[in-house]
Amino acid sequence: MATSTHLILFSALLLAASAAAQTSFRPKALILPVKKDAATLQYITNLTQRTPPVSVPLTLDLGGQFLWVDCQQGYTSTTYRPARCRSAQCSLAGADGCGECYSPPGPGCNNNTCGLLPDNTVTHTATGGELAADVVTIQSADGKNPGRVVSVNQFLFVCGSTFLLEGLAAGVKGMAGLGRTKISLPIQFAASFSFPRRFAICLTSSTSSNGVVFFGESPYVFLPGIDVSKSLIYTPLILNPVSTASAYSSGDPSSEYFIRVKSIKISEKTVPINTSLLTIDNNGYGGTKISTVNPYTVLESSIYNAVTNFFVNELANVKRVDSVAPFGACFDSKNISSTRVGPGVPAIDLVLQNEDVYWRIFGANSMVQVSEDVLCLGFVDGGSNPRTSIVIGGHTIEDNLLQFDVARSRLGFTSSLLFRQTTCANFNFTSNA
Ligand SMILES: *[C@@H]1O[C@H](CO)[C@@H](O)[C@H](O)[C@H]1NC(C)=O
Ligand SMILES: *[C@@H]1O[C@H](CO)[C@@H](O)[C@H](O)[C@H]1NC(C)=O
Ligand SMILES: *[C@@H]1O[C@H](CO)[C@@H](O)[C@H](O)[C@H]1NC(C)=O
Ligand SMILES: *[C@@H]1O[C@H](CO)[C@@H](O)[C@H](O)[C@H]1NC(C)=O
Ligand SMILES: *[C@@H]1O[C@H](CO)[C@@H](O)[C@H](O)[C@H]1NC(C)=O
């Protein structure tokens, strides 16, 4: 009797001590380094998860619904907890079902658990998977440098299957979804540390140095000491009422980030396009989204043709060469000068909520060097009647910082950081903890 009372008292003290340790340091922001994979052009980050901790490589998916990882192979953790049917975790995640599993029990296979549909948004493949929680550790940050490591004990994620990894970069074990849901990475981090529902991505064009994702408070300081949070331009984020996932329940909205592009200008002249393609219709078709799983910007055919023809006319004095797939308009790079913001070509503007607010795309983000002598306009034909008319892809957003302020439903963007004499590879990852 005496022994057990003693034990209870002891564990109560331990609990009090660990609660105190958690409250004594509350980070204002967190960071993840992001690498570009040369073979797939995917953006890869590592998240530390499980007990004992494992660094899990993941493809970054800006519009992805949640974190999903392969639990079928190599998942061992003493802190893995499946979400029980009808628990608060299931309802937060919007997972109504109640599942049984007929394979040997283990992570991803438990009875009386709720599930969601992990989605490989690169190959558009989805499957069923168990909702679960495990510990995640991540570096805090002060906006300039990483700080000490912090953890979230019950971080929700979904168990995927090994086959779902097909099409992802070598070694990757899942996808890190930053989308508009209640259980995406930024929203869970914000809830755990009571910081704003806000995050920023700064992807690098280099495959040898790291870009960065910031969760929580700004500033966003890049060497040599440039706080780019001071130069953001804002535009509203638009909700697409119909899910764009590979599989979903009817009534689910899209977890992807859409913005309202009203027109496109090249050399400050409006490109004639069918602007009704730029609004989202009742079936969720049309509009403009930002994606990190599309390496290049994809345009609906009629927009693609109009933009390409207009651009080619504006560059009429430059020698056009044979096109190189997947691009249509390629040029002799010897005839194109080089500027601080990349190849000296006409600027392309995405005109937003009014004529004075536009996202200017310079050569570094519009042109792709496909060989020593050839530069191509880095836009791809998305065919007619695609789900989304304009998908702003990775190459277009590299070395631009994009802040997704979910709480205020707005996107902050910088345009090219090359103008400010820095790049997304210039975050100082040396810890000052
Ligand atoms: C992820 O971890 C692997 C293995 O430790 C490492 O080679 C890679 O550079 C890391 N990626 C990032 C973005 O930190
Ligand atoms: C789940 O329950 C069924 C039926 O009771 C049983 O056959 C199965 O082995 C159980 N699965 C696990 C993973 O425990
Ligand atoms: C413009 O696009 C809308 C939506 O796809 C289509 O219904 C309409 O016919 C198009 N208009 C023209 C002039 O092509
Ligand atoms: C394009 O480059 C070629 C080869 O350097 C040169 O002969 C030609 O004059 C250039 N044309 C223009 C318009 O710059
Ligand atoms: C990066 O940050 C560390 C830690 O604060 C600092 O010592 C170092 O000088 C910084 N590097 C540069 C190039 O400023």
Residue spans of the domains in the chain: they are 2-217, 228-426
pLDDT reading at 11 higher than 90: no
Name the residue at shortest CA distance from atom 6 of ligand 2.
102
Q: Is the CB of 33 under 6 A from ligand 1?
A: yes
Q: Is the CB of 384 under 6 A from ligand 3?
A: no
Report the distance separating Cα 411 and Cα 426, nearest Å.
22
Question: For residue range 69-92, what is the model confidence (pLDDT) as tens digits?
Answer: 999 999 999 999 999 999 999 999
What kind of fold does domain 228-426 have according to CATH? Cathepsin D, subunit A; domain 1 (2.40.70)
Q: Is the CB of 207 under 6 A from ligand 1?
A: no
State the sign of the Cα–Cα–Cα–Cα dihedral 25, 26, 31, 32.
positive
Per the DSSP assignment, residues forming a β-bridge with 57 are: 46
Q: Which distant-in-sequence residues (6+ apart) come within 8 Å of 375 by Cβ?
A: 330, 331, 333, 336, 343, 367, 368, 369
- The CA distances from residue 361 to 33, 80, 273, 351, in Å, are 24, 45, 18, 11
Which ligand does the CA of 98 lie closest to? 2
Report the distance separating Cα 338 and Cα 344, nearest Å.
5
Mean predicted confidence (pLDDT) in 277-293: 98
Q: Do domains 2-217 and 228-426 have the same CATH topology?
A: yes
Report the distance separating Cα 47 and Cα 149, nearest Å.
12
Give the Cβ contact number of residue 268 at 10 Å.
Answer: 10
Name the residue at shortest CA distance from atom 4 of ligand 4.
334
pLDDT reading at 304 higher than 60: yes
The enclosing H or E element of 187 equals: helix 185-193
| 52 alpha carbon – ligand 2 mean position (Å) | 27
Kindly indicate the confidence band of residue 1, based on its pLDDT and cuts at 50, 70 and 90: very low
Taking the CA of residue 428 as reference, the ligand 5 atom at the shortest distance is 1
pLDDT at 329: 97
Q: Is the CB of 31 under 6 A from ligand 3?
A: no
Per the DSSP assignment, residues forming a β-bridge with 175 are: 59, 68
Kindly indicate the confidence band of residue 335, based on its pLDDT and cuts at 50, 70 and 90: very high
Taking the CA of residue 317 as reference, the ligand 4 atom at the shortest distance is 13
Strand, helix or coil at 19?
Answer: helix
Kindly indicate the confidence band of residue 433, based on its pLDDT and cuts at 50, 70 and 90: confident
Residue 222: CA count within 13 A, CB half-sphere: 25
Token couple for 40? 């797939």
Contact 234, 410 (CB under 8 A): yes
Q: Report residues whose beta carbon is within 6 angstroms of any ligand 5 atom.
A: 145, 223, 428, 430, 432
| Lowest model confidence (mean pLDDT) among 10-24, 204-218, 247-261, 345-359 | 10-24
| 104 alpha carbon – ligand 2 mean position (Å) | 8
Q: How many residues comprise the chain?
A: 433
What kind of fold does domain 2-217 have according to CATH? Cathepsin D, subunit A; domain 1 (2.40.70)
| 343 alpha carbon – ligand 5 mean position (Å) | 31
Report the distance separating Cα 282 and Cα 284, nearest Å.
5
Token couple for 23? 């409250």
Question: For residue range 398-426, what is the model confidence (pLDDT) as tens digits?
Answer: 999 999 999 999 999 999 999 999 999 99
Question: For residue range 339-389, what is the model confidence (pLDDT) as tens digits?
Answer: 999 999 999 999 999 999 999 999 999 999 999 999 999 999 999 999 999
Instruction: Please give the share of the chain, as a percent, with pLDDT higher than 90.
Output: 93
